[in-house]
Amino acid sequence: MPLDRPYPCGYTADMSDMYSPPDSPLEVIHEDHEILIVNKPAGLLSVPGKGPLLADCLMSRILAAYPQALLVHRLDRDTSGIMVFALTPHAQRHLGLQFEKRYTKKTYIARVSGRLEPKKGKVDLPLIVDWPNRPKQMVDHENGKPAQTDWNVLRASDTESRVRLMPRTGRTHQLRVHMLALGHPILGDPFYADGPAREYDRLMLHSEELRLRHPDGGEGKRFYVKAPF
């Protein structure tokens, strides 16, 4: 089951004093007999962290309304947008295989620092956890795991660019580290941005679109939630 790497939500228990999850209602985008699609708000853990101060998360809120719900994948705490949950064991297995085999297609919207040029490109840089500074990740050409991200500039000014990001792999903090490697950190990133680029009220990264095959019959489905920034 592709539930990502250690600390996939981006925070560890020793950061519990910084955790103040948003008090927003569960936003369901789609529901049927097999799957549940929701819009995760920024600042909310996907799954609980260690200790009672990190217990509030999207999974716990979903279980309160859908006790049969099962986890399929995760988003970082600071990232907003589309997540899919399974409502049956069959759906969890089916969706898990799709994520593992990279049959799903995910698209993100981000605002990054500076003018990103050229208009489109690909980042192919292997990543590994930066153990002394975990949960941060870093580029490591010798020991890192393969990570690829396609990007496309939607519009740009001298101070920032709005980009569409299409990860081909699903490494922890992949989009955040790849944008940093290009010299254009995502605005509001508490880990990888510095100075004015860090001084935003949230991470400017949103999971906008998810394409998958429905577990019941294999029909292609597209789910979309516009970025709130």
Q: Tens-digit pLDDT profile for the chain (229 aa)?
A: 333 333 344 444 455 568 999 999 999 999 999 999 999 999 999 999 999 999 999 999 999 999 999 999 999 999 999 999 999 999 999 999 999 999 999 999 999 999 999 999 999 999 999 999 999 999 999 999 999 999 999 999 999 999 999 999 999 999 999 999 999 999 999 999 999 999 999 999 999 999 999 999 999 999 999 999 9
The dotted CATH code for 13-104 is 3.30.2350.10
Pair of tokens at residue 129: 């956890």
pTM of the model: 0.92
Catalytic residue among 76, 194, 201, 216: 76
Tell me if the domain spanning 108-205 has CATH number 1.10.287.610.
no
Q: Write down the domain spans for the chain.
A: 13-104, 108-205
Fold agreement between 13-104 and 108-205: yes
In this predicted structure, what is the pLDDT of residue 11?
47
- 223 strand-pairing partners: 210
Q: How many CA atoms lie within 13 A of 217 on its CB side?
A: 6
Tokens 């948003």, residue located: 22
Catalytic residue check, 201: no
Tokens 């560890």, residue located: 12
Label the pairing between strands 137-139 and 127-129. antiparallel
* DSSP codes, 42-60: TT--SS--SSGGG---HHH
Instruction: For residue 121, give the nearest of 150, 147, 148, 146 by alpha carbon.
Output: 150
Distance CA(166)–CA(16), nearest Å, equals 31
